[in-house]
Amino acid sequence: MAEGKVPERKPDGWDGPREGYPKAQKHYADPENWKYPVHTPFHARAARRYFDQPENRTKYTEEEQAYIDWRIDQALRRYGVVEGRSLEDRVNPFDKDLEEMTLRDLLVFFLGEDRLKRALAIEEVTVDRSDGVLEGRVKEYPVRIDVADKRIAHTCPDWERRSSGGLFCKHVGAIFLKLSEEKAGLILRQLIPDREKWIFQLGESH
Ligand SMILES: [Zn+2]
Protein backbone atom coordinates (compact mmCIF):
# COMPACT_ATOMS: atom_id res chain seq x y z
CA MET A 1 0.00 0.00 0.00
CA ALA A 2 1.28 3.38 -0.96
CA GLU A 3 1.67 5.92 1.79
CA GLY A 4 0.76 9.57 1.48
CA LYS A 5 -0.31 11.04 -1.80
CA VAL A 6 1.40 11.24 -5.19
CA PRO A 7 2.76 14.80 -5.54
CA GLU A 8 1.06 17.10 -7.99
CA ARG A 9 2.89 18.93 -10.74
CA LYS A 10 5.10 21.63 -9.29
CA PRO A 11 6.38 24.82 -10.91
CA ASP A 12 9.97 23.61 -10.65
CA GLY A 13 9.20 20.07 -11.75
CA TRP A 14 10.57 18.59 -14.97
CA ASP A 15 8.38 17.94 -18.00
CA GLY A 16 10.01 14.63 -18.68
CA PRO A 17 13.12 12.58 -18.02
CA ARG A 18 16.37 14.46 -18.16
CA GLU A 19 19.12 13.11 -20.33
CA GLY A 20 20.74 10.03 -18.88
CA TYR A 21 17.88 9.43 -16.46
CA PRO A 22 15.24 6.70 -16.60
CA LYS A 23 12.43 7.14 -19.08
CA ALA A 24 9.73 5.58 -16.90
CA GLN A 25 8.01 7.47 -14.11
CA LYS A 26 8.09 4.45 -11.82
CA HIS A 27 11.81 5.08 -11.29
CA TYR A 28 11.15 8.40 -9.57
CA ALA A 29 10.06 8.93 -5.98
CA ASP A 30 8.23 12.00 -7.33
CA PRO A 31 6.96 10.62 -10.63
CA GLU A 32 4.82 13.57 -11.79
CA ASN A 33 7.76 15.95 -11.57
CA TRP A 34 10.42 13.46 -12.69
CA LYS A 35 12.35 14.14 -9.51
CA TYR A 36 14.21 11.98 -7.01
CA PRO A 37 15.21 9.10 -9.26
CA VAL A 38 15.73 5.90 -7.26
CA HIS A 39 16.74 3.46 -10.01
CA THR A 40 20.12 2.61 -8.45
CA PRO A 41 21.43 2.42 -4.87
CA PHE A 42 23.53 5.50 -5.60
CA HIS A 43 20.52 7.52 -6.76
CA ALA A 44 18.29 6.28 -3.95
CA ARG A 45 20.85 7.43 -1.38
CA ALA A 46 21.22 10.78 -3.16
CA ALA A 47 17.42 11.13 -3.20
CA ARG A 48 17.34 10.55 0.55
CA ARG A 49 20.02 13.17 1.12
CA TYR A 50 18.36 15.81 -1.04
CA PHE A 51 14.88 15.15 0.19
CA ASP A 52 16.05 15.44 3.79
CA GLN A 53 16.95 19.07 3.13
CA PRO A 54 14.14 21.34 4.37
CA GLU A 55 14.25 23.62 1.32
CA ASN A 56 13.40 20.62 -0.84
CA ARG A 57 10.85 18.99 1.46
CA THR A 58 8.80 22.10 2.01
CA LYS A 59 7.91 22.32 -1.66
CA TYR A 60 5.51 19.49 -0.96
CA THR A 61 2.46 19.03 1.24
CA GLU A 62 2.81 16.67 4.18
CA GLU A 63 0.91 13.98 2.34
CA GLU A 64 3.17 14.36 -0.66
CA GLN A 65 6.25 14.26 1.56
CA ALA A 66 5.00 11.01 3.05
CA TYR A 67 4.69 9.53 -0.43
CA ILE A 68 8.19 10.56 -1.49
CA ASP A 69 9.65 9.32 1.80
CA TRP A 70 7.88 6.03 1.32
CA ARG A 71 9.15 5.64 -2.23
CA ILE A 72 12.75 6.47 -1.30
CA ASP A 73 12.73 4.19 1.74
CA GLN A 74 11.22 1.39 -0.30
CA ALA A 75 14.05 1.71 -2.83
CA LEU A 76 16.70 1.87 -0.11
CA ARG A 77 15.33 -1.28 1.50
CA ARG A 78 15.29 -3.02 -1.84
CA TYR A 79 18.97 -2.20 -2.25
CA GLY A 80 19.83 -3.59 1.16
CA VAL A 81 20.44 -0.39 3.05
CA VAL A 82 20.89 -1.07 6.72
CA GLU A 83 20.41 1.71 9.24
CA GLY A 84 20.77 4.35 6.63
CA ARG A 85 23.99 2.93 5.32
CA SER A 86 24.16 0.29 2.66
CA LEU A 87 26.23 -2.84 3.08
CA GLU A 88 27.43 -2.21 -0.39
CA ASP A 89 28.82 1.15 0.71
CA ARG A 90 30.78 -0.48 3.41
CA VAL A 91 32.31 -3.29 1.38
CA ASN A 92 32.53 -1.70 -2.01
CA PRO A 93 35.88 0.02 -2.53
CA PHE A 94 34.72 1.41 -5.85
CA ASP A 95 32.82 4.62 -5.96
CA LYS A 96 30.45 3.02 -8.38
CA ASP A 97 27.06 1.44 -8.35
CA LEU A 98 27.02 -2.31 -8.39
CA GLU A 99 25.07 -2.20 -11.63
CA GLU A 100 27.75 -0.09 -13.23
CA MET A 101 30.57 -2.40 -12.18
CA THR A 102 31.82 -4.52 -15.02
CA LEU A 103 32.62 -8.19 -14.48
CA ARG A 104 36.26 -7.16 -14.31
CA ASP A 105 35.52 -4.61 -11.54
CA LEU A 106 33.60 -7.26 -9.64
CA LEU A 107 36.41 -9.77 -9.93
CA VAL A 108 39.03 -7.23 -8.92
CA PHE A 109 36.96 -6.63 -5.82
CA PHE A 110 37.26 -10.28 -4.79
CA LEU A 111 40.66 -11.07 -6.24
CA GLY A 112 42.74 -7.95 -6.63
CA GLU A 113 44.55 -7.21 -9.89
CA ASP A 114 47.37 -9.72 -9.52
CA ARG A 115 45.18 -12.66 -8.65
CA LEU A 116 42.81 -11.78 -11.44
CA LYS A 117 45.74 -11.99 -13.86
CA ARG A 118 46.64 -15.40 -12.50
CA ALA A 119 43.02 -16.53 -12.70
CA LEU A 120 42.87 -15.42 -16.34
CA ALA A 121 45.97 -17.47 -17.11
CA ILE A 122 44.47 -20.74 -15.85
CA GLU A 123 43.42 -22.93 -18.73
CA GLU A 124 42.30 -26.08 -16.99
CA VAL A 125 38.81 -25.07 -15.91
CA THR A 126 35.72 -27.19 -16.23
CA VAL A 127 32.20 -26.45 -15.10
CA ASP A 128 30.14 -29.61 -14.73
CA ARG A 129 26.94 -28.12 -13.43
CA SER A 130 25.63 -24.60 -13.62
CA ASP A 131 22.00 -24.68 -12.52
CA GLY A 132 21.31 -23.32 -9.03
CA VAL A 133 24.51 -25.01 -7.95
CA LEU A 134 27.72 -24.52 -9.84
CA GLU A 135 30.21 -27.30 -9.71
CA GLY A 136 33.50 -27.23 -11.40
CA ARG A 137 37.13 -28.00 -11.22
CA VAL A 138 40.13 -25.74 -11.64
CA LYS A 139 43.20 -27.84 -12.23
CA GLU A 140 42.86 -30.46 -9.51
CA TYR A 141 40.79 -28.27 -7.21
CA PRO A 142 37.01 -28.67 -7.03
CA VAL A 143 34.86 -25.57 -6.54
CA ARG A 144 31.20 -25.66 -5.58
CA ILE A 145 29.04 -22.54 -5.54
CA ASP A 146 25.53 -22.87 -4.19
CA VAL A 147 23.76 -19.60 -4.91
CA ALA A 148 20.49 -20.41 -3.13
CA ASP A 149 22.31 -21.66 -0.07
CA LYS A 150 24.82 -18.76 -0.28
CA ARG A 151 27.81 -21.01 0.01
CA ILE A 152 31.11 -21.47 -1.77
CA ALA A 153 33.09 -24.60 -0.98
CA HIS A 154 36.64 -25.05 -2.11
CA THR A 155 40.02 -26.07 -0.73
CA CYS A 156 43.44 -24.64 -1.43
CA PRO A 157 46.00 -22.85 0.70
CA ASP A 158 45.16 -19.41 -0.66
CA TRP A 159 41.40 -19.97 -0.11
CA GLU A 160 42.23 -21.02 3.43
CA ARG A 161 43.83 -17.64 4.02
CA ARG A 162 41.44 -15.42 2.12
CA SER A 163 37.99 -16.95 2.40
CA SER A 164 37.42 -15.87 6.00
CA GLY A 165 37.86 -12.29 4.83
CA GLY A 166 35.26 -12.82 2.11
CA LEU A 167 37.86 -12.86 -0.65
CA PHE A 168 38.52 -15.32 -3.45
CA CYS A 169 41.54 -17.33 -4.50
CA LYS A 170 42.43 -17.55 -8.19
CA HIS A 171 40.61 -20.89 -8.58
CA VAL A 172 37.26 -19.51 -7.48
CA GLY A 173 37.94 -16.51 -9.71
CA ALA A 174 38.69 -18.83 -12.62
CA ILE A 175 35.33 -20.56 -12.24
CA PHE A 176 33.53 -17.22 -12.54
CA LEU A 177 35.61 -16.43 -15.63
CA LYS A 178 34.43 -19.68 -17.19
CA LEU A 179 30.76 -18.69 -16.85
CA SER A 180 29.00 -16.32 -19.19
CA GLU A 181 29.63 -12.71 -18.30
CA GLU A 182 25.94 -12.29 -17.54
CA LYS A 183 25.74 -15.24 -15.21
CA ALA A 184 28.97 -14.43 -13.39
CA GLY A 185 27.92 -10.80 -13.03
CA LEU A 186 24.54 -11.76 -11.69
CA ILE A 187 25.98 -13.97 -8.95
CA LEU A 188 28.69 -11.50 -7.94
CA ARG A 189 26.28 -8.58 -7.81
CA GLN A 190 24.10 -10.61 -5.47
CA LEU A 191 27.08 -11.63 -3.43
CA ILE A 192 28.65 -8.24 -2.72
CA PRO A 193 25.87 -6.57 -0.71
CA ASP A 194 24.94 -9.88 0.87
CA ARG A 195 28.45 -11.00 1.60
CA GLU A 196 28.05 -11.35 5.34
CA LYS A 197 25.44 -14.02 4.84
CA TRP A 198 27.54 -16.11 2.50
CA ILE A 199 29.62 -18.94 3.81
CA PHE A 200 33.00 -19.43 2.22
CA GLN A 201 33.90 -22.86 3.47
CA LEU A 202 36.82 -25.19 3.24
CA GLY A 203 35.96 -28.50 1.71
CA GLU A 204 34.25 -29.79 -1.35
CA SER A 205 30.63 -29.62 -0.28
CA HIS A 206 28.49 -29.37 2.80
ZN1 LIG B 1 41.86 -21.94 -4.62
| Residues 14-62 pLDDT 10s | 999 998 889 999 999 999 999 999 988 888 888 988 888 888 999 999 9
CA of 186 to the centre of ligand 1 (A): 21
Look at residue 206 and tell me whether its pLDDT is greater than 60.
no
**pLDDT grade for 195, boundaries at 50, 70 and 90:** confident
Write the DSSP symbol of residue 100. G
CA of 32 to the centre of ligand 1 (A): 52
**pLDDT grade for 90, boundaries at 50, 70 and 90:** very low
CA of 152 to the centre of ligand 1 (A): 11
CA of 86 to the centre of ligand 1 (A): 29
SS3 content of the chain, % helix, strand, coil (to 5): 45, 15, 35
pLDDT at 136: 94
pLDDT at 109: 85
pLDDT at 103: 92
Could you tell me which of 64, 62, 35 has the C-alpha nearest to residue 50? 35
pTM equals 0.55
- As a whole number, mean pLDDT of residues 94-123 equals 85
The Cα–Cα gap between 77 and 191 comes to: 16
pLDDT at 54: 84
CA of 173 to the centre of ligand 1 (A): 8
Residue 54: count of CB within 10 angstroms of its CB? 7
CA of 72 to the centre of ligand 1 (A): 41
- As a whole number, mean pLDDT of residues 105-127 equals 91
CA of 58 to the centre of ligand 1 (A): 55
CA of 124 to the centre of ligand 1 (A): 13
CA of 29 to the centre of ligand 1 (A): 44
- As a whole number, mean pLDDT of residues 101-118 equals 89
Write the DSSP symbol of residue 204. S
Q: Where are the domains of the chain?
A: 1-79, 100-202
CA of 17 to the centre of ligand 1 (A): 47
Look at residue 86 and tell me whether its pLDDT is greater than 80.
no
Could you tell me which of 52, 50, 44 has the C-alpha nearest to residue 76? 44
CA of 155 to the centre of ligand 1 (A): 6
CA of 80 to the centre of ligand 1 (A): 29
